[in-house]
């Protein structure tokens, strides 16, 4: 994808979202259930959309909330439902709509005591803390966030009692029921499909509880991070919430543990006007993008370690004096290298979990540590079970999302936690005397220096469907970019779950092709340990291999 002219530059005023219009459309817009783009659709991170496009309106939230109530009853989930929201403009209206439905359905709900913002990992932590040692009265949760998506988007996701993202069986059940409600009409049938009460009554209902999310999460961090080492080092730390849900957490963390930490931007603005725009010209709070993070990269000259988080704080962006903003894959490799040598309380057989589009540097680091590598499809839900039972010490994905165990080997969160990944960067620097960027340089000296990129290729809906249905025997090629192909994968090596696409591997490179769930494109992820020219050759031949597979599947390539 070519760079937009505004990439990395401050967002012009005319590009900012009209917040009053956005919220008005949330309440007044009615989705068309016959239009697939306006139906409830749970992807890897819940339902997302925009009120301006008819894909995230009040009807969607009412229907999803009612479907969750019915799912909870069917599953016998009777404990509290922890609810959090981020700072996107549509999040608070969606929270209010959800409260009206949950209260009318007599669901015990826990909302922030100050009606503030709650990071995704904090909801996961609250669920797991409540459920520890219980076999009944289990809690679950809802996080209202579209993650790092542009300011006009909204998102709504459900976390079951495992604390992590719901699996496909759960999301399909909720999605199907929500769409039935939309199809029938929110309040049109005689049974009143959606139970709902006025907000003022819902907030005063005996089942609606105000809850302090900050204190227990912050107090418990001592069991995950080596704070004494950070304090003893005197590190100067910079934290940028990037206008997101972590904004109220960094000062309590600094005060509780005595950190020399500065919150560099405490500003909340639903237009996110303080951002520099991403590579495609859109405002996107992506803490792994050098374009979205352009204004933060200068922090490397002010602090010994600095970091940012996306809007719901489930992703991390690490800024070091040595290299500036770290590539997410690079930091994941360093985090794994460090953790498995500095967590003696973890199981000796605790494995390294990674998504199949993450860097093969992780494979080489895991092998050097003598740790089993578990490669799963895209989506953090695949790490949940391993984190719960301690068989995964770490689970991470290339898009700067990861979590890891407590120091004693017990589960911390089963959703991505950008806050602990940030603090880990400070711990690594304090304990070793070198920042994570320096450590990555050492890893490349030992294992080679990979080059990694992602590209988008135009594809028809038929081609996207064909890509999801590919089998390894449909790939006739024997070589890729001058190397023998050693694996053709349509299922993940660890659990044999379908990857929804294709991965082709050689000794020093690989590519993976996956269809987009929202656009008429497929995504190619590729990596080479032989340099940029070899990577471009992989990209070129990858499109040829995919095109040939399309032909076998009876479709025609768009490339």
User: Mind telling me the catalytic residues?
Assistant: 147
- 8 Å CB contact between 239 and 306: yes
Write out the E strands in 234-391.
237-240, 261-263, 305-309, 316-320, 324-325, 351-355, 373-376
Residue 270: phi, psi to the nearest 5? -65, -15
Find the radius of gyration of the CA atoms of the chain: 23
Question: In this structure, is the dihedral angle defined by the CA atoms of residues 187, 189, 190 and 194, taken in order, positive or negative?
Answer: negative
To which H or E segment does residue 59 belong? helix 58-75
**Per-residue DSSP letter, 496:** -
**Per-residue DSSP letter, 10:** B
Residue 182, token pair as written in the block = 């939309």
End-to-end CA distance of the chain: 14
- 8 Å CB contact between 553 and 474: yes
CA angle 447, 449, 450 (to 5 degrees): 110
Largest Cα separation within the chain, whole Å, is 70
Question: In this structure, is the dihedral angle defined by the CA atoms of residues 122, 126, 127 and 129, taken in order, positive or negative?
Answer: positive
CA dist list (Å): 267 to 218, 263, 264, 348: 21, 10, 9, 44
**Per-residue DSSP letter, 162:** T
CA distance 428 to 356: 26
CA distance 219 to 129: 12
CA dist list (Å): 473 to 380, 467, 476, 513: 28, 13, 7, 16
Write out the E strands in 44-178.
46-49, 81-85, 109-112, 140-144, 154-159
CA distance 516 to 512: 13
Write out the E strands in 165-236.
208-211
CA distance 559 to 553: 16
Closest by CA to 91, choosing from 61, 122, 52, is 61
């Amino acid at each position: 994808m070519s760079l937009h002219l505004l990439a990395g530059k401050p967002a012009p005023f005319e590009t900012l979202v009209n917040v009053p219009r956005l919220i008005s459309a949330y309440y007044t817009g009615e989705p068309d259930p016959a239009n697939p783009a306006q139906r409830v659709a749970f992807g890897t991170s819940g339902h997302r959309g925009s009120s301006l496009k008819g894909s995230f309106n009040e009807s969607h939230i009412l229907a999803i909330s009612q479907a969750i109530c019915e799912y909870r009853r069917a599953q016998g989930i009777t404990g509290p439902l922890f609810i959090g929201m981020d700072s996107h403009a549509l999040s608070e209206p969606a929270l209010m709509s959800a409260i009206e439905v949950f209260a009318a359905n007599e669901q015990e709900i826990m909302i922030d005591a100050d009606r503030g913002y709650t990071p995704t990992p904090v909801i996961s932590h609250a669920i797991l803390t409540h459920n520890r040692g219980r076999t009944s009265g289990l809690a679950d949760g809802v996080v209202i966030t579209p993650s790092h998506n542009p300011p006009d988007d909204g998102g709504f996701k459900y976390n079951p009692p495992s604390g992590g993202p719901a699996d496909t069986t759960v999301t399909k059940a909720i999605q199907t029921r929500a769409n039935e409600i939309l199809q029938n009409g929110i309040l049109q049938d005689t049974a009143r499909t959606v139970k709902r009460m006025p907000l003022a009554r819902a907030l005063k209902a005996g089942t609606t509880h105000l809850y302090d999310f900050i204190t227990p999460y912050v107090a418990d961090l001592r069991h995950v991070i080596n704070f004494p080492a950070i304090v003893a080092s005197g590190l100067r730390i910079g934290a940028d919430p990037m206008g997101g849900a972590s904004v109220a957490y960094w000062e309590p963390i600094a005060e509780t543990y005595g950190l020399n930490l500065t919150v560099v931007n405490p500003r909340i603005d639903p237009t996110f006007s303080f951002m520099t725009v991403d590579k495609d010209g859109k405002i996107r709070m992506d803490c792994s993008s050098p374009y979205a993070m352009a204004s933060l990269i200068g922090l490397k000259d002010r602090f010994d370690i600095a970091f940012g988080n996306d809007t719901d704080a489930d992703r991390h962006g690490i800024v070091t004096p040595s290299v500036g903003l770290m590539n997410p894959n690079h930091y994941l490799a360093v985090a794994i290298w460090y953790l498995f040598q500095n967590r003696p309380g973890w199981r000796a057989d605790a494995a390294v979990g990674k998504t199949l589009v993450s860097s093969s540097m992780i494979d080489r680091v895991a092998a050097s540590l003598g740790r089993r590598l578990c490669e799963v499809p895209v989506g953090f839900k695949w790490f949940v079970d391993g984190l719960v039972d301690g068989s995964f010490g770490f689970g991470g994905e290339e898009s700067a999302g990861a979590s890891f165990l407590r120091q004693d080997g017990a589960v911390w969160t089963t959703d991505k936690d950008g806050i602990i990944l940030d603090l880990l960067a400070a711990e690594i620097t304090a304990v070793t005397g070198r920042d994570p960027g320096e450590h990555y340089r050492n890893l490349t000296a030992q294992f080679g220096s990979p080059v990694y990129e992602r590209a988008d290729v135009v594809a028809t809906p038929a081609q996207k469907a064909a890509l999801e249905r590919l089998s390894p025997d449909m790939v006739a090629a024997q070589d890729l970019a001058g190397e023998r192909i050693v694996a053709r994968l349509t299922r993940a090596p660890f659990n044999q779950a379908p990857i929804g696409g294709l991965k082709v591997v050689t000794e020093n490179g690989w590519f993976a092709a996956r269809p987009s769930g929202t656009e008429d494109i497929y995504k190619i992820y590729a990596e080479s340990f032989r340099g940029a020219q070899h990577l471009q050759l992989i990209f070129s031949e990858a499109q040829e291999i995919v095109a040939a597979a399309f032909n076998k599947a009876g479709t025609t390539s768009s490339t």
